[in-house]
Amino acid sequence: MTKYIHKFSRQRRRDTEFPARTTWRRFRRHKLALFGGVVLVVLVLCAIFAPWLSPYDFARQHRRARFSAPTLAVPSDPLAMPQCKQPVVLWWRCGMHPFGTDDLGRDILTRVLHGGRVSLLVGFAAGLASTLLGTIIGALAGFGGRLVDASLSRFVDIMLSIPQLPLLLILVGLLANPEVPVANWLSQTLGGAKSIVIIIAVIVVLSWMSTARLVRGQVLSLKEREFVEAARALGLSKRRIVLRHILPSTLSVIIVQATLMTGEAILIESGLSFLGLGIQPPAVSWGNMLSRAQEFLYYPNGVYIALFPGLFIFLTVLCANFVGDGLRDALDPRLRSRL
């Protein structure tokens, strides 16, 4: 019995001294979350190194190889092989199409890798930015007094009452219209990155409300706690109390929300691109690959043009949700006893 008591006390001491290590140990026990994290890391690395992982140029057309089925075979006829940037990358030889080719003869796997750069960039940037905006507004509402809380809460209610999809379509359509002065200024300022920046900005503007509500509720429950009262008694300013004492206590909720918002942002970008209002060619994303694929679903091997980008969207969002669940279980004190 004494041995178990000492073991338990050592475990509790390690948990107190190394909270990050403790959180990692609890997260690691969540098998689906660990799997999702590994898959997300692999997808991010593949997107970053996409130009070096493929022997093809994602935009180069090869009409003789249109609608090829997925194959690992290399054509014996040299004239049937497209001109590649490099003859072989790892096991991937020039002329081999593991995911097949699209209607213009472009390699689908290459376009999926390059499309992941845009889709993951939009997902992570919009997810983090919307979480940050929601955290700021939620903290102001929770700790700013009755008038500030009432004003910001009613503003959140108004934003939540607006149908998001129609507003998304209207905002993206206006900002993409060359006759709108703001759209012209954005084109001159951002150039080819205009559609990406517009999608990120629109997603952020319409996705921060759930985070604001969560953070406001956490702040309202924490600001009456003893450590906050002690900080007030010591004469600390409101900003210092919020930044040094309250927000760190809500960090678990914020991290989980940022993870979930990343998956939601990827879905929003994919939906807008599928409707033709998202990332515009020549840039490639998983969403606009799906949009183009709907014209060729009944062609021979045309289903592969939609299958693989759709599969990567599904896998990315599913793994992001797994990671969010694992972080919630690892960081929430009420759920730690399960892990």
Query: How many whole angstroms separate alpha carbon 195 and alpha carbon 27?
Result: 36
Distance CA 187, CA 280 (A): 13
pLDDT score at 48: 92
Residue 258: pLDDT above 70?
Answer: yes
Three-class SS of residue 67? coil
Which of 338, 329, 334 shows the shortest CA–CA distance to 27?
Answer: 329
pLDDT exceeds cutoff 60 at 144 = yes
Spatial distance between the Cα atoms of 36 and 287, rounded to a whole number of angstroms: 21
CB 101 within 8 A of CB 66: yes
Max mean pLDDT among 12-21, 106-115, 135-144, 160-169 falls in 106-115
Amino acid 143: pLDDT: 80
Angle between helices 286-293 and 108-143 (to 10 degrees): 130
Which of 63, 139, 167 has the alpha carbon at shortest distance from 105? 63
pLDDT-based confidence at 237, cuts 50/70/90?
confident
Q: DSSP secondary structure string, 106-171?
A: -BHHHHHHHHHHHHHHHHHHHHHHHHHHHHHHHHHHHHS-HHHHHHHHHHHHHHHHS-HHHHHHHH
Compute the distance between CA of residue 22 and CA of residue 332 in angstroms, rounded to an integer.
12
The third-level CATH classification (topology) of the domain covering 27-338 is MetI-like fold (1.10.3720)
**22 has a pLDDT exceeding 70:** yes
Lowest mean pLDDT among 49-58, 66-75, 109-118, 240-249: 240-249
Calculate mean pLDDT across residues 242-249. Answer: 77
- Using an 8 Å Cβ cutoff, are 199 and 269 in contact? yes
The percentage of residues in the chain with a pLDDT greater than 70, rounded to a whole number, is: 87
Mean pLDDT, rounded, for 328-337: 62
Contact 33, 325 (CB under 8 A): yes
Is 16's pLDDT higher than 90?
A: no
pLDDT in tens, 305-325: 989 999 999 999 999 888 888
Average per-residue pLDDT for the chain: 80
Mean pLDDT, residues 217-230 = 79
Boundaries of every domain in the chain: 27-338
Q: What is the pTM of this model?
A: 0.82
159-191 pLDDT, tens per residue?
A: 888 877 777 777 777 777 777 777 677 677 766
pLDDT given for residue 3 in this prediction: 46
Q: Which helix (H) or strand (E) holds 93?
A: strand 92-93
pLDDT range class, residue 83, cuts 50, 70, 90: low
Cα(68)–Cα(158) distance, integer angstroms? 50
Could you report the per-residue pLDDT of 112-131, keeping only the tens digit for each? 999 999 899 988 999 999 99
The average pLDDT across 37-65 equals 88
Q: Is residue 4 predicted with pLDDT exceeding 50?
A: no
